[in-house]
Structure 1
């Protein structure tokens, strides 16, 4: 099986040794998990000759949304994406990289959208996209590694070491093979760490048996491996059976092919490819309950660029095109999908001397879906004045768990406090329950 070069290998130099070290550390930690995943993929089998894409799954009675978590890794600059045009301190703090009001796309009297995010404006106007500004961790450190670990654990002050999405999937009724799936990676993120079985795959079409070169060999491997694990303890039989079942399904999907619907055209790139696979899994009905997708290369300590070109402009343009295609492709299925973006922290309010921004705190989150109360920028804006900043950062006035808790309660039908211990009581009204 031939894989593309991982996104991390193509990341632009950011001048942040802490991020580079944490990336290596994370990859080293996940390397062990990836090895297990590779072993699981090795035991997996393509489907029988009579397999079709008319797939049914007896995986419980979950009727909530598919929750898609798009992680902007590296520290997303929410002040560039959703610009506080009414705050007089903004352009003073960012004289060269700030987005002039005349260049933004108006969201309301307070905020404008970065021009590179123009493909998302129709979804905002259609009230299927909302933003939450000044969102953050309760105890930020400005460390990539520490803050991302806390974000994905989402249990500050507790002894829990599992990931919040593992707890989310585990709280649903009898999750099936694809209930929790990480796309675009061979190793699941820490948000999926825990006792619930989840999948990680670079893509649907590339999640195949490695080593069995034809259908005869695949049949032999499958028979032998299923027999080998028959009667084994669940911790051994579960991953093997899950892998075998998953590859059988993805091979059936590959054989059937996939064409995006409703005129959706995905751009090139890893992010778009992963979102395309999420839409594909949703519409095929494999029982997807939580999916993760990563977008990296956001640690812009230098050379962030201008409002009409440069690093940030290019990155945001890729995100916008991919998300717009994803929503178009889903069509009516978007009514059962909620996508939320997260990042370990925002950026400093003031630009630095290298035309970039350093590690900060308060950030913005995008929430997309058919049942989003969109067309609004939510959250309490704390201001960028000298007396309003938190050690030079945009203050976080909304705990990120308040947003996640609301989505879990209203769109996933779960008791959010069982997933997010110590969950704040505040809710913003970003999403609504089914009528």
Structure 2
């Protein structure tokens, strides 16, 4: 079963290049059938890993809304700014009377109704007017810049990799990408990381009737090899040992039937199984693409945006239910490379813009409201026809990571070089 939604033609050549570019930066070693471990093929340092992680530790799921999600349709301003938005978007604006949530300044798209109980309970919130330090409307460049999160640097080390690298005892399963065998740029670098379509792929291919003997031979063969390949393979083989109980029980552990049919079902079901297995995973990266809505956004009763958000909401509701008691240690944060233009185009869509919204759900979230300074939608407040940025997206990520992982609270400069963070207030 695929974990990617069918992609519509968006008329953006650089979006296709962005998809392909991730292969160019992939420095990984095969860990099994369909699984990859990125370890020591970028850089020379070898980290001796200690397996097992911290039982019961916190987990952050970074959910990338690739394609440039329209934050002004997801988290919609009320009042005078809604009137201004409606003047720019007469055919696709979300009517104010349909908005959900009690925030006086903003309301949620009605397709997010499945998550309204979390909003009302204070475990679902948002930050608006977020973005890169300077506008970048290229899918390729904006995605790379956002996932590197180190403006001006030429080093291919992503922000999640830098975070995991703060711990010299980090294991590959500390940072995991599911739904793809390609590590996102955020996880590329010298620290170990794993990627696979599903948890059952975290295994060495079937070695036949003498599995144990042949596996032992592999361990012996690579035990003394001090090359980058040897380092990576030892990490890979050790990871498959640590994850073996989950792999062996994957058919029972992955509750696919609990999720609505669609592109997030398998990847979130596998993410929940990995988190419940409690193998020390700290960050999981997941993609939910197809947000490049240059045409056919649709209305509140149906269409591209409605259907995409409805699946997002239903799938995340199922995810938190599937986690069971583990939900108390899981936080989800969304990112997208840019927002959309204020003004709709002639095809009922919106082109590439700037300021956007980030959604936060789960443990530690100060929910039930929209956080952050708001620039407004008056003509004088716009950035070349776009919603202006008031919160650097890295400030939101730093707030999430430092709250959920207090041990890194003194390492902001290493995780996000050059960032002078705003106090967003999105976490408790």
Q: Scaled by the length of structure 1, what TM-score is found?
A: 0.87
Contact 1:70–1:340 under 8 Å retained in 2:
yes
Equivalent residue number for residue 329 of structure 1: 322
Q: For 1:31-53, what per-residue CA distance to the aligned partner results, in whole angstroms no more than 9, with x for missing partners? A: x64xx44x332599xxxxxxxxx
Q: Could you say what secondary structure the match of 2:264 adopts?
A: helix
Q: 1:42 to 1:121 in 2, by over 3 A?
A: closer
Q: Is the 8 A contact 2:3 2:267 kept in 1?
A: no
Q: Counterparts of 1:391 and 1:339 in 2: how far apart (Å)?
A: 31
Distance 1:132 1:73, change over 3 A: same
Report how far residue 339 of structure 1 moved. 1.2
* C-alpha distance in structure 2 between counterparts of 1:243 and 1:268, whole Å: 32
Is 1:209 aligned with 2:200?
Answer: no
User: Which stretch of the first structure deviates more once superposed, 103-112 or 281-290?
Assistant: 103-112
Point out where structure 1 has 5 or more consecutive residues left out of the alignment.
45-56
Residue 293 of structure 1: which of 280, 286, 305 is its match? 286
Cα distance change, pair 109–42 in 1 and its aligned pair in 2 (3 A): closer
What does residue 82 of structure 1 align with?
75
Aligned position for 1:106: 101
Whether 2:381 is the aligned partner of 1:388: answer yes
User: Could you tell me which residue of structure 1 aligns to residue 185 of structure 2?
Assistant: 190
- Higher alpha-carbon deviation: 165-174 or 394-403: 165-174
Equivalent in 31, 46, 50 of residue 40 of structure 1:
31
Deviation of 1:235 after TM superposition, in Å, equals 2.6
Q: CA deviation at 1:128?
A: 0.7
Say yes or no: does 1:268 pair with 2:265. Answer: no
Cα distance in 2 for residues equivalent to 1:190 and 1:270: 21
Question: Is the alpha carbon distance of 1:423 and 1:283 closer, same or farther for their aligned partners in structure 2, counting shifts above 3 Å?
Answer: same
TM-score computed with the length of structure 2 as normaliser: 0.89
SS in 2 for 1:366: strand
Contact 1:130 1:377 in 2 (8 A): yes
Deviation at 1:251, TM superposition (A): 4.5
C-alpha offsets along residues 169-218 of structure 1, whole Å, 9 cap, x if unaligned?
111351123101001001110000100110001001233433x364x253
Cα distance, 1:264 vs structure 2: 9.2
1:345 corresponding residue in structure 2: 338
> Are residues 314 and 43 of structure 1, via their aligned partners in 2, closer, same or farther at CA, if it must alter by over 3 Å?
closer
Q: 1:23 to 1:58 in 2, by over 3 A?
A: closer
- Farther-moved stretch of structure 1 (120-129 vs 230-239): 230-239
Q: CA deviation at 1:280?
A: 1.4
- Aligned-partner Cα distance in 2 for 1:184–1:41: 15
SS in 1 for 2:280: coil
- Assess, with a 3 A threshold, how the Cα gap between structure 1 residues 359 and 371 changes in structure 2: closer, same or farther: same
Report if aligned partners of 1:266, 1:276 keep a CA contact under 8 Å in 2.
yes
SS class of match (1:105) = coil
Match of 1:377 in 2: 370
Matches of residues 350-365 of structure 1 in structure 2 within 5 Å? Answer: 350-365=343-358
1:71 aligns to what?
64
Question: How many angstroms does 1:396 deviate by?
Answer: 0.8
* 1:135 and 2:123 correspond: no
Matches within 5 A, 1:243-262: 243-256=236-249, 257-258=251-252
Q: Which residue of 2 aligns with 1:418?
A: 414
Q: SS where residue 375 of structure 1 aligns? A: coil
Indicate if the aligned counterparts of 1:43 and 1:222 stay in contact, CA closer than 8 A.
no
What is the root-mean-square deviation in Å for CA atoms of aligned residues? Answer: 2.4
Distance in 2 (CA, whole Å) between partners of 1:416 and 1:287 is 22
Residue range with higher mean Cα deviation, 66-75 or 267-276: 267-276
Partner of 2:86, secondary structure, is helix
Matched, 1:13 2:9: yes
Task: Give the Cα–Cα distance (whole angstroms) in 1 for the partners of residues 322 and 34 of structure 2.
Answer: 33
Separation of aligned partners in 2, 1:238 and 1:334: 34
Compute the displacement of 1:17 (Å). 2.1
SS at match of 2:361: strand
1:85 CA drift (Å):
2.2
Closer, same or farther: CA 260–110 of 1 in aligned 2, 3 Å: farther
With 252-261 and 273-282 compared, the bigger mean Cα shift is at 252-261
Match of 1:284 in 2: 277
Shift in CA distance, 287/60, structure 1 to aligned 2, threshold 3 Å: closer
CA contact (8 A) 1:82 1:112 kept: yes
Gaps in structure 2 of 5+ consecutive residues:
36-49
Identify the residue that residue 427 of structure 1 maps to in structure 2.
423
